[in-house]
């Protein structure tokens, strides 16, 4: 998916970027803020608990994406504070 494409693009530009930038970008890209992760969560929940309860995940996809994005940004910010 897109995060793998972004990682490959980052890999080709590693020599021109500062270590700080690489650390922050890598932390953000290796996160849970993507559609494939939400799909994996939905599939796992569906196989464990059945279709009736998995509709809870389906109704809250945007909340999952926003919370995943927030956690990813916070993690990248913390790395940005401490990796110089």
Residue 1, pLDDT above cutoff 70: no
> Helix axis angle, 61-82 relative to 35-49, nearest 10°?
130
- Whether 66 and 3 have beta carbons less than 8 Å apart is answered as no
- For residues 18-38, give the mean pLDDT: 83
- Tens-digit pLDDT profile for residues 52-78: 777 888 888 888 888 888 988 999 999
pLDDT of residue 79 exceeding 80:
yes
pTM to 2 decimal places? 0.69
Report the percent of the chain where pLDDT is more than 90: 15
For 16-35, what is the mean pLDDT? 84
**Distance between start and end Cα atoms, the chain:** 30
């Amino acid at each position: 998916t897109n995060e793998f494409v972004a990682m490959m693009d980052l890999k080709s530009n590693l020599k021109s970027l500062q270590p700080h930038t690489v650390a922050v970008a890598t932390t953000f890209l290796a996160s849970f803020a993507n559609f494939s992760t939400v799909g994996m969560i939905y599939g796992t929940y569906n196989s464990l608990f059945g279709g009736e309860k998995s509709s809870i995940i389906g109704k809250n996809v945007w909340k999952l994406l926003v919370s995943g994005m927030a956690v990813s940004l916070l993690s990248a910010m913390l790395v940005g504070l401490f990796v110089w």
